[in-house]
Amino acid sequence: MFDKEKLAELRKRHEKWVDGTLQKSLERAPERADEFITVSSTPVRRLYTPLDVADLDYPEDLGLPGEYPFTRGVHPTMYRSRLWTMRMFAGFGTAEETNARFKYLLEHGETGLSTAFDLPTLYGYDSDAPEAEGEFGVCGVAISSLRDMEVLLDGLPLDRITTSMTINSPAAVIWAMYIVAAEKRGIPRAKLGGTIQNDILKEYIAQKEFIFPPEPSMRLVVDTIEFGTQEMPRWNTISISGYHIREAGSTAAQELAFTLSDGFEYVRWAIDRGLDVDAFAPRLSFFFNAHNDFFEEIGKYRAARRIWAREMRETFGAKNPRSWWMRFHSQTAGVSLTAQQPENNIARVAIQALAAVLGGTQSLHTNSMDEALALPSETAARIALRTQQIIALETGVTNTVDPLAGSFFVEAETDRMEAESREYFHRIADLGGVLPAIEQGFFQLEIADAASRYQWEIDQKKRIVVGVNEYSGEEKIGIPILKMDQQGYDRQVARLREIRRTRDHRAVSARLSDLRQAAAGDANLMPFLIEAVREYATLQEIMDVLREVWGEYREPVIV
């Protein structure tokens, strides 16, 4: 991109600047620290010039938006045509309560739904299971059967909105419930749009909400990919997630590298199943964190698109440009929120969200200021949504595509992210691939090391967190905290018992035994799951069948 002679000239001039102008300035005004580091503890240089991106090849490395390698965005016009989807993660208590929250958010201008499930649901337990004690409805909505799903979706325009569901181990079952609930209202599955997270690999790596061992889990994921490819063209069957990897304490580069590695692993498995890469790859979606370090994050998103496009085309031989697209959702960093002076979180969220937008996100969730304390209250959730609207409509950053391209620093960060990722790809390959690396605890240890380092930097005040280790005061919390409906649990359990009493028992056991057989063989399980939920087999009944056939996974401990 740069002329060789001019670069040489610049290099000389830079040297002179260091010895002269800079030296003098440092004598008068020394720098505040010996080293300046990103959130990921990577040093940042004082100044970036063309010398730092001397090898950048514009057509090869950046290209034009909507064209390979998509560094500048997957759409030619980006937000000038359509803003990102403002998708607020919601869910708590019973299906009724969450349904009401969904309607509230839609009324306030939200354009897509996003569902959080409670922990028993995420682990495939019914609300009244002993394992679920104390966890009902706390982190999300409880869905134990098709009936709960029907209540959750009641009155929502499923043919017009898209619904994202954050669920992994039991994703296929919950998806089956969604499909049947819609069909019972006369909406055919082909018209349904949305996303199931369904990213089991990052569960082993970071979030730890796994149930089965990796192999059968991967088979179930590929079953959903196959089913979606054949029957549900508008559905994203997986959202390959770096978010939780980052929340678990990884660096930005680890988040990127591990997520992409997971993505490639799914592609490999689906191809091994005999699927055409260009048939399924366009429906793969991603999910990244939006953390505090503004430029590092932007570099991360841009590098993500570029690496994905290159690998899909070069390594996996995809021909459909849509297979090269990396489309991603992003969410501001939950771990960056502080319980101290929680109102400060509004500012953090705004800046993180801005980074996601400048990085070209397709949809965005902004955290509520009170999330380090409890579930978001309505007011806090509204402010978070308004934050997105302000960015979209008041700041002007949406007026042009990829406005930071060409910044020496941003391009250097983008290059660094790609280089660090590729380094990790090699290390993972050396360990034998993603599954062996999981088993050896490689990811887990890398993340735990990064998390400890981060905390150490805070404890040592090498890293400042406003309101926590600097400018802290004993301010009282001034925001209302959401309290749950105490009767919710009783209502849920009553509904569950009612279903167990009134359904067609013969049909339920027949469908479950069909499922057991199919799980032991290698048929696609989606049709079996759909038939089982249709008869109101509960989530746990279904998951227990699979537990029985596949066993449960225990993680390699890495501390």
Partner 1 sequence: MSARKVRILIAKPGLDGHDRGAKVVARALRDAGYEVIYTGLRQTPEMIVEAALQEDVDAIGLSLLSGAHLTIFPRVAALMKEQGLDDVMLFGGGIIPEDDAPALKQAGVANVFGPGTSTQDIITFVEQEMARRK
Partner 2 sequence: MELTERILKADRRALARAISLVENDGEQAQKLLQEVYPHAGQAHIIGITGPPGSGKSTLVSQIARQYRQQGRTVGIVAVDPSSPFTGGALLGDRVRMRDLAGDRGVFVRSMASRGSMGGLARATGDAVTLLDAAGFDLVLIETVGAGQVEVDIAREAHTTLVVEVPGLGDEVQAIKAGLMEIADVFVVNKADHAGVDQTVRALTIMLDMNSAACSWTPPVIKTIALHGEGVADLIEAVDDHWAYLVRENALQDQQRIHAQNRLTRVMRRRLFDELLAKIGPERFEETVMQVATHKIDPYSAAARLMNSKTQGS
Rule CB under 8 A: which residues touch partner 2?
A: 440, 554, 557, 559
Stretch that binds partner 1, among 129-137, 156-164, 402-410, 543-551 (CB under 8 A): 129-137
* Residue 154 phi, psi dihedral angles, 5° rounding: -55, 125
Which of partner 2, ligand GTP, partner 1, none interacts with 478 (beta carbon under 5 to 8 A by kind)?
none
Alpha carbon 128 to its chain centroid, in Å, reads 29
State yes or no: residue 433 binds ligand GTP (CB under 6 A): no
**How near is the Cβ of 291 to partner 2 at its closest, in Å?**
28
**How near is the Cβ of 138 to partner 1 at its closest, in Å?**
4
Planar angle of CA 307, 259, 177, nearest 5 degrees: 125
**How near is the Cβ of 140 to partner 1 at its closest, in Å?**
10
Q: Which DSSP helix (H) or strand (E) runs through 85? A: strand 85-90
500-519 residues near partner 1, rule: CB under 8 A = none
Strands laid side by side in the 363-365 sheet: 235-236, 193-196, 162-166, 112-116, 85-90, 363-365, 328-332, 284-290, 238-241
**How near is the Cβ of 297 to partner 1 at its closest, in Å?**
19
Identify which of residues 55 and 490 has a Cβ nearer to partner 1 in the complex.
490
State yes or no: residue 551 binds ligand GTP (CB under 6 A): no
**How near is the Cβ of 461 to partner 1 at its closest, in Å?**
9
* Residue 431 phi, psi dihedral angles, 5° rounding: -80, -5
Tell me how crowded residue 90 is: count the other CB atoms within 10 A of its CB.
Answer: 22
**How near is the Cβ of 558 to partner 2 at its closest, in Å?**
8
**How near is the Cβ of 458 to partner 1 at its closest, in Å?**
6
**How near is the Cβ of 215 to partner 2 at its closest, in Å?**
11
Alpha carbon 336 to its chain centroid, in Å, reads 16
Tell me how crowded residue 507 is: count the other CB atoms within 10 A of its CB.
Answer: 15
Q: Which DSSP helix (H) or strand (E) runs through 115? A: strand 112-116
Tell me how crowded residue 25 is: count the other CB atoms within 10 A of its CB.
Answer: 12
**How near is the Cβ of 373 to partner 1 at its closest, in Å?**
5
**How near is the Cβ of 493 to partner 1 at its closest, in Å?**
15
Beta strands 162-166 and 235-236, pairing class: unpaired
Binds partner 1 by CB under 8 A, chosen from 208, 234, 319, 322:
208
Determine the 3-state secondary structure of 238 from DSSP: strand
Identify which of residues 29 and 559 has a Cβ nearer to ligand GTP in the complex.
559
Q: Are 187 and 234 in contact (CB under 8 A)?
A: no
For 39, residues 6+ apart whose C-beta sits below 8 A from its C-beta are: 251, 252, 291, 292, 293, 296, 454
Of 53, 111, 117, give the one whose Cα is nearest residue 90: 117
Distance CA 433, CA 426 (A): 9
State yes or no: residue 378 binds partner 1 (CB under 8 A): no
State yes or no: residue 123 binds partner 1 (CB under 8 A): yes
449-478 residues near partner 1, rule: CB under 8 A = 451-452, 455-456, 458-459, 465, 467-469, 477
Identify which of residues 33 and 557 has a Cβ nearer to partner 2 in the complex.
557
Identify which of residues 29 and 559 has a Cβ nearer to partner 1 in the complex.
559
Beta strands 193-196 and 235-236, pairing class: parallel
State yes or no: residue 351 binds partner 1 (CB under 8 A): no
Identify which of residues 46 and 554 has a Cβ nearer to partner 2 in the complex.
554
Binds partner 1 by CB under 8 A, chosen from 61, 97, 110, 203:
203
**How near is the Cβ of 554 to ligand GTP at its closest, in Å?**
7
Tell me how crowded residue 78 is: count the other CB atoms within 10 A of its CB.
Answer: 23
Binds partner 1 by CB under 8 A, chosen from 338, 366, 367, 368:
338
Of 311, 319, 411, 367, give the one whose Cα is nearest residue 50: 411
**How near is the Cβ of 207 to partner 1 at its closest, in Å?**
5
Identify which of residues 165 and 391 has a Cβ nearer to partner 1 in the complex.
165
State yes or no: residue 556 binds ligand GTP (CB under 6 A): yes
Binds ligand GTP by CB under 6 A, chosen from 154, 439, 457, 485:
439
Binds partner 1 by CB under 8 A, chosen from 190, 390, 481, 520:
481
DSSP state of 473: -
Structure token pair of residue 393: 């409509």
User: Taking CB positions, which residue lies at the least distance from ligand GTP?
Assistant: 556
Site string for partner 1, 407-446 (x = CB under 8 A): ----------------------------------------
| Helix/strand/coil (H/E/C) assignment for every residue in 154-217 | CCCCCCCCEEEEECCCCHHHHHHHHHHHHHHCCCCHHHCEEEECCCCHHHHHHHCCCCCCHHHH
Structure token pair of residue 497: 């018992």
Identify which of residues 211 and 238 has a Cβ nearer to partner 2 in the complex.
211
State yes or no: residue 133 binds partner 1 (CB under 8 A): yes
**What does the binding site for partner 1 look like in residue numbers (CB under 8 A)?**
119-120, 122-123, 131-135, 138-139, 203, 207-209, 247-249, 335, 337-340, 372-375, 447-448, 451-452, 455-456, 458-459, 465, 467-469, 477, 481, 555, 557, 559
**What does the binding site for ligand GTP look like in residue numbers (CB under 6 A)?**
439, 556
